[in-house]
């Protein structure tokens, strides 16, 4: 016979063990959720802090300076806020710097010229970079790695040195002119250095990897059988390219173009070293306002307006990236 009292005791123990186990599971769940929440917040916190510290704070400082007046002092600008009398905070916002940018045609033409040079250079970078990216994407696996390495290789040398090297190539008795003279193609050296042409060459050369890499990454994902399908349906290879490959590579084209265009607008080193005295670019003006004229408020105003100019292409870039990510996600499903 079983002892009738044994069962409840046994059950009681079971219930206690069960409760303890359940509590353990519940607590570990709670902890787990807390941990993932903390993890997620940490992940978002780092870039947020980074942007606050290194982008938003400096931008606000520049914006503040742009509303100040230039003075011969240390620092070379007035404070925009100061206490006058009792409990009276005076805020003096000087908009003259922005008005100056509108009134003096120098600035407007420099802005337009920068955009023109950046746009033309982006187109040329695309024209040079697209075939390169396509070639790399079509290459065999081992060759592909080597070619990608070659694209990135120039980064191992200082940007400044590479731009200086172009002076040696483009100047009147430089490599290129000497080569053309020896070949008898020209009678007199071509004045290539200190011209818009030299600036284009410099930008195309320096920013080429930023064009090639995003293009390559979209092109390499395109299924080779799509080209075969297009040819099977009656397309010659060139028209198959325009109707299938090119449209599918558009996210890469926008990404690459924006990655070249945005920094090229504010480029200072290349126009300063390779450009002529009349090739006005806003980066150069900014530099001379800061360091030659020591007019920090005007220089800051130039920087703020330049940022506003660049917001539009930046938004386009962001959109194209999101779209590409979205399509990737759908493709994987």
Q: Which is nearer to another protein, 98 or 241 (CB)?
A: 241
Taking the least distance from each CB to another protein, the nearer of 134 and 204 is: 134
Query: How far from 109 is each of 29, 66, 192, 316, CA to CA, in Å?
Result: 63, 20, 23, 24
**Least Å from the CB of residue 296 to another protein:** 50
* CA 238 – CA 116 distance, rounded (Å): 30
Identify the bridge partners of residue 90 per DSSP, sorted by sequence position: 82
Q: Measuring CA to CA, which residue among 278, 151, 264 is closest to residue 200?
A: 264
- Examine residue 244 and tell whether it contacts another protein (CB under 8 A): yes
Minimum distance from residue 253 beta carbon to another protein (Å)? 13
How many other β-carbons are positioned within 10 Å of the β-carbon of residue 234?
8
Nearest to another protein of 184, 234 (CB atom): 234
Look at the alpha carbons of 279, 284, 117, 203 in this order and tell me if their dihedral is positive or negative: positive
Q: For the chain, how many helices (H) and strands (E)?
A: 15, 2
Min CB(19)–another protein separation in Å:
46
Q: Between 90 and 232, name the residue whose CB sits nearer to another protein.
A: 232
Cα–Cα distance measured from residue 222 to residue 137, given in angstroms and rounded to the nearest whole number: 9
Binding mask 303-322 for another protein (x = CB under 8 A): --------------------
String marking each residue 201-240 x if it binds another protein according to CB under 8 A: ----------------------x-xx-xxxxxxxxx--x-
278 — phi, psi (to 5°)? -95, -5
By CB under 8 A, how many residues form the interface with another protein?
A: 21
Residues 134-193 that bind another protein (CB under 8 A): none
53-72 positions binding another protein, by CB under 8 A: none
Q: Which residues bind another protein (CB under 8 A)?
A: 223, 225-226, 228-236, 239, 243-244, 247-248, 327, 330-331, 333
């Amino acid at each position: 016979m079983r002892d009738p009292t044994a069962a409840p005791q046994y059950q009681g123990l079971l219930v206690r063990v069960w409760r303890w186990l359940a509590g353990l599971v519940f607590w570990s769940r709670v902890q787990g959720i807390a941990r993932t929440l903390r993890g997620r917040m940490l992940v978002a916190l780092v870039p947020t802090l980074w942007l606050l510290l290194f982008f938003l704070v400096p931008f606000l400082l520049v914006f503040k300076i742009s509303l100040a007046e230039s003075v011969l002092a240390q620092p070379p600008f007035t404070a925009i806020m100061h206490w006058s009398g009792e409990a009276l905070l005076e805020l003096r916002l000087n908009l003259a710097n922005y008005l100056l940018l509108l009134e003096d045609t120098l600035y407007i033409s420099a802005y337009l010229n920068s955009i023109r040079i950046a746009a033309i250079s982006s187109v040329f970078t695309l024209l040079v970079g697209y075939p390169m990216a396509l070639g790399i994407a079509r290459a065999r696996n081992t060759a592909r790695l080597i070619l990608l390495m070659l694209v990135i290789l120039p980064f191992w040398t200082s940007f400044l040195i590479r731009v200086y090297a172009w002076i040696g190539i483009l100047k009147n008795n430089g490599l290129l002119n000497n080569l053309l003279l020896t070949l008898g193609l020209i009678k007199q050296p071509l004045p290539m250095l200190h011209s818009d042409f030299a600036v284009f060459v410099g930008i195309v050369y320096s920013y080429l990897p930023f064009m090639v890499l995003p293009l390559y990454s979209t092109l390499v994902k395109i299924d080779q059988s799509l080209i075969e399908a297009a040819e099977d349906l009656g397309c010659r290879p060139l028209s198959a390219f325009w109707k299938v490959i090119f449209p599918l590579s558009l996210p890469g084209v926008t990404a690459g173009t924006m990655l070249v265009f945005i920094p090229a607008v504010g480029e200072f080193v290349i126009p300063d070293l390779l450009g002529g005295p009349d090739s006005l670019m806003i980066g150069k003006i900014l530099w001379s306002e800061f360091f030659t004229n020591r007019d920090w408020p005007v220089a800051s105003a130039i920087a703020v307006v330049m940022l506003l100019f660049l917001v539009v292409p930046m938004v386009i870039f962001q959109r194209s990236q999101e779209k590409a990510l979205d399509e990737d996600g759908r493709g994987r499903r």
